[in-house]
């Protein structure tokens, strides 16, 4: 079964609002936590990642936070735009990638 | 620079047949991983190869096999296809020593 739980499964936001996706993991050995965006008909695209020795990382409108003690990490998208609409996957890795089930994000104008 | 390239992009096979999927990693990347993504789910790990050696295997039956060639390209083979093998098969490459996986666009396999 999946070692990564991802919530919510769907998320609808108005353009300009923020979107937050949360993931929990179970393997204490995990040390790398990437987030992928997948558009229809394409492979997953890495949008941001964080290592276990860092608590937060930001890249323009995207930020990721990691709480190793609680074993959860989150993706924050601010000032959402229609082109942010896609399926987002969190993953954890200690060698291979274990993915969450995905969050369908819909940004309405 | 070319990203990860996979071929073919789409494939239709009949139950019981065999299929070979191909992947060329980003130039300089020595590690290739294969994932199966069933519609509506996250990708599931199948294999990882580094420097032509298998470094990891997911929970898939022996009908699934793979190999990596001296030029670091890779093939995924699936024998005795079942309807449940219908999925998007993704290849990802990385430098090997560091995390950071780049995915190809995948091969959409339909088994009828």
pLDDT tens, residue by residue, B2-22: 799 999 999 999 999 999 999
How many Cβ atoms are within 10 Å of B105's Cβ, its own excluded?
Answer: 17
Q: Strand A19-25: give its sheet, edge to edge.
A: A4-7, A19-25, A72-77, A62-67, A56-59
Buried b (16+ CB within 10 A) or exposed e, A78-98: eebeeebbbbbbbbbbebbbb
Q: Cβ A101–B45 below 8 Å, yes or no?
A: no
Looking at residue B1, what is its pLDDT?
Answer: 60
Condensed to tens digits (0 to 9), the pLDDT of residues B57-110 reads 999 999 999 999 999 999 999 999 999 999 999 999 998 766 789 999 999 999
Residue B15 Cα, gap to closest chain A Cα (Å) = 24
Residue B57 Cα, gap to closest chain A Cα (Å) = 9
Residue B56 Cα, gap to closest chain A Cα (Å) = 8
Q: Cβ A34–B42 below 8 Å, yes or no?
A: no
A106 neighbors A21 (Cβ within 8 angstroms): no
Beta-bridge partner residues of B92: B33, B103
Condensed to tens digits (0 to 9), the pLDDT of residues A36-46 reads 999 998 999 99
Q: CB of A54 within 8 Å of any CB in chain B? A: no
Q: CB of A34 within 8 Å of any CB in chain B? A: yes
């Amino acid at each position: 079964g999946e070692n990564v739980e991802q919530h919510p499964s769907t998320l609808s936001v108005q353009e300009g609002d923020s979107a937050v996706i949360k993931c929990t993991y179970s393997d204490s050995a995990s040390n790398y936590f990437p987030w992928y965006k997948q558009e229809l008909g394409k492979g997953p695209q890495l949008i941001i990642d964080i290592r276990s020795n860092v608590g937060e990382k930001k890249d323009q409108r995207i930020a990721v936070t990691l709480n190793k003690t609680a074993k959860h990490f989150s993706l924050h998208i601010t000032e959402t735009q229609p082109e942010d609409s896609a399926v987002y996957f969190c993953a954890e890795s200690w060698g291979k990638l274990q993915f969450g089930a995905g969050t369908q994000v819909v940004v309405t104008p | 620079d070319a990203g990860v390239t996979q071929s073919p992009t789409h494939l239709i096979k009949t139950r019981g047949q065999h299929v070979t999927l191909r992947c060329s990693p980003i130039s300089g990347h020595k590690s290739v991983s294969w994932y199966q993504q069933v519609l509506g789910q996250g990708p599931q790990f199948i294999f990882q190869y580094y420097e032509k050696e298998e470094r990891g295997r997911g929970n898939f039956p022996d009908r699934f096999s793979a190999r990596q060639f001296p030029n670091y390209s890779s093939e995924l083979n699936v024998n005795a296809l079942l309807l449940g093998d219908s999925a998007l098969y993704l290849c990802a490459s990385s430098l090997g020593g560091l995390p950071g996986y780049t995915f190809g666009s995948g091969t959409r396999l339909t088994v009828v």
